[in-house]
Amino acid sequence: MNQALKKPHALATVEPLLQVRDLSLLYGLERGCQDISFDLYPGEVLGIVGESGSGKSTLLSLLSGRLPPQRGSIGYRDKQGEWLDLYSASEAERRTLLRTEWGFVEQNPRDGLRMGVSAGANIGERLMAQGIRNYQQLRGAGLDWLSQVEIDPLRIDDLPRTFSGGMQQRLQIARNLVSSPRLVFMDEPTGGLDVSVQARLLDLLRGLVRELDLAVVIVTHDLAVARLLADRLMVMRRSRVVETGLTDQILDDPQHPYSQLLVSSVLQP
Amino acid sequence: MNDLSNSIKGGAPSRDAAYNFAYLDEQTKRMIRRALLKAVAIPGYQVPFGGREMPLPYGWGTGGMQLTAAILGADDVLKVIDQGADDTTNAVSIRRFFARTAGVATTESTPDATLIQTRHRIPETPLHADQIMVYQVPIPEPLRFIEPSETETRTLHALNDYGVMHVKLYEDIATFGHIATAYAYPVMVDERYVMDPSPIPKFDNPKLDMSPALMLFGAGREKRLYAVPPFTRVTSLDFEDHPFEVQKWEECCAICGSHESFLDELIIDDAGTQSFVCSDTYYCAQRVSQQEQDQ
């Protein structure tokens, strides 16, 4: 693997949060993803970029415990500092992880939200799953998180379907962050949004990531999103990682021909 | 025995020999009994069973009837109630069905019955240890309203992952200021399985807890059955700051004067005049005859 994979300023004393080794899942020749290895450190934002069909989303599903790989392993270091092998853990452990220490922001907020219940219930669901049985506390968390993601707290009892696309996406983010996760996966979080809404959402995300010291794995085909959010990039093509490195390094001085193509194809306004 | 029940009981009616005992064939009854044993062994767990066509439509109590048919013995005394009443269409026709196909004795008296098939109510008169309650259940899955996928709800049950159940109660409080679910109020059985107690009013939920009688639940359309064995802990879900409460009425029953029973509201004229009466007709009649005797 590339030398740049080792985070240059990651001190020997800081242990990674996520350790991925030789991860593979192939649907066909060069369809899916193969031989993926990397470490993710606490508070680090890793961007995965690449063309459609390059295996970005498959990789994200593998990482987030939704799809068992054919080969390879994923180790996660939990809050107690214990290493957990994701796919040899029980389904109950994986689910607990997904709703406590992890978050998953879907591209389409309708997949990540419960559209039939109010915004407050959406935010409170993770807390209820963790056993919080105090209505006032759930209410408080709902109001607090709505204002953190810049939604008017008065709308706490409104259904998500009455929200605009950008608000729904922000609500989805609040719903994931309420359990103070350490690691969040995002699948094109700014996908279906118009440019100005995208900018606001990115601004918000950047603030939250810094403030909460989140580790994030973000899949995107938008290099502007990657530049704004990611510390480190992995460029994927035809199921393999072709280049990894610091975001600026890759975007300003791409080495692999495909990375060069990707960077040069960004429209300059 | 009061005369109300005598008129219907009428000794042991003769059985129609054209049908097998209690309508279902022996293999089917055996299959249902096997599923029932499993249900009793895992309180609150929904056991699938091979539901059969019954000679009445789904939603009229086909699930409860199959369970009743499977456990009915020739010596049993059957009581059937619908919304607490012994004399409504559903109750009368199911009672007549088993009187004809099984030739069992029927009654309206709660203490005299050994088997009580019910829709929507648990009798006010306390049950005793050698009684079995059979409930008719429309939707056995308590998580269905929040989670439409059957595989997902099964996983949630298996992993004891019941956070979503409180989402519904949260919605109630957010919308109405209190938990507005008034019937089919979800319960936790033996601290393990969340169960839909069938559409009984939440007024009856406390009667499920540590009941000496065996409780069986059958859903005909969904082909699921489940059980609460005698003396099982059954707690209604709630929030710390919004605890579970049963309905209360300021009025008392217009017929028997009861303050303790579940009351039905009747509108008795075009001006909207209300009257409240016991929904449990046997309990009400019992109290009236008691009062007459005391005088």
Quick one: residue A238, left, alpha or beta (phi over 0 = left, psi -120 to 50 = alpha)?
left
CA dist A209 → A46, A164, A201 (Å): 12, 23, 12
Contact B163 A125 (CB under 8 A): yes
Catalytic site includes residue B256: yes
Catalytic site includes residue B63: no
Contact A134/B at CB under 8 A: yes
Nearest CA in chain B to A124: B167
Nearest CB neighbour to A157, from listed B166, B174, B241 = B174
| pLDDT for res A194 | 80
Summarize the confidence of residues A64-71 as an average pLDDT. 91
The sign of the dihedral angle between the CA atoms of B273, B276, B279, B285 is negative
**How, if at all, do strands B77-82 and B115-119 pair?**
parallel
Nearest Cα to Cα of residue A189 among A228, A227, A147, A219: A219
Contact A149/B at CB under 8 A: no
Contacts of A241 (CB under 8 A, 6+ apart): A35, A36, A38, A234, A235
Nearest Cα to Cα of residue A259 among A222, A234, A230, A229: A234
How close, in Å, is residue A137 to chain B by CA atoms?
10
How close, in Å, is residue B144 to chain A by CA atoms?
12
Q: What is the mean pLDDT of chain B?
A: 92
Nearest CB neighbour to A92, from listed B159, B162, B171 = B159
**3 state SS of B82:** strand
Probe site for chain A from B145, B166, B179, B237 (most A CB atoms < 10 A): B166
| pLDDT for res A240 | 92
pLDDT in tens, chain B (295 residues): 444 444 444 456 788 989 999 999 999 999 999 999 999 999 999 999 999 999 999 989 999 999 999 999 999 999 999 999 999 999 999 999 999 999 999 999 999 999 999 999 999 999 999 999 999 999 999 999 888 899 999 999 999 889 889 998 999 999 999 998 899 999 999 999 999 998 999 999 999 999 999 999 999 999 999 999 999 999 999 999 999 999 999 999 999 999 999 999 999 999 999 999 999 999 999 999 999 999 8
Query: What is d(CA B161, CA B163) in angstroms, rounded to the nearest whole number?
Result: 6
Contact B163 A126 (CB under 8 A): yes
CB B49 within 8 A of CB B31: yes
pLDDT of A85 over the 60 cut? yes
Query: What is d(CA B105, CA B114) in angstroms, rounded to the nearest whole number?
Result: 10
Asked casually if ipTM beats, i.e. exceeds, 0.90, the reply is no
pLDDT interval class at A159 (50, 70, 90): very high
| pLDDT for res A193 | 79
Query: What order of strands is seen across the sheet that includes strand B47-48?
Result: B47-48, B224-228, B214-219, B132-136, B115-119, B77-82, B105-106
pLDDT of A178 over the 60 cut? yes
Which entry of B10, B11, B44, B84 is annotated as an active-site residue? B44
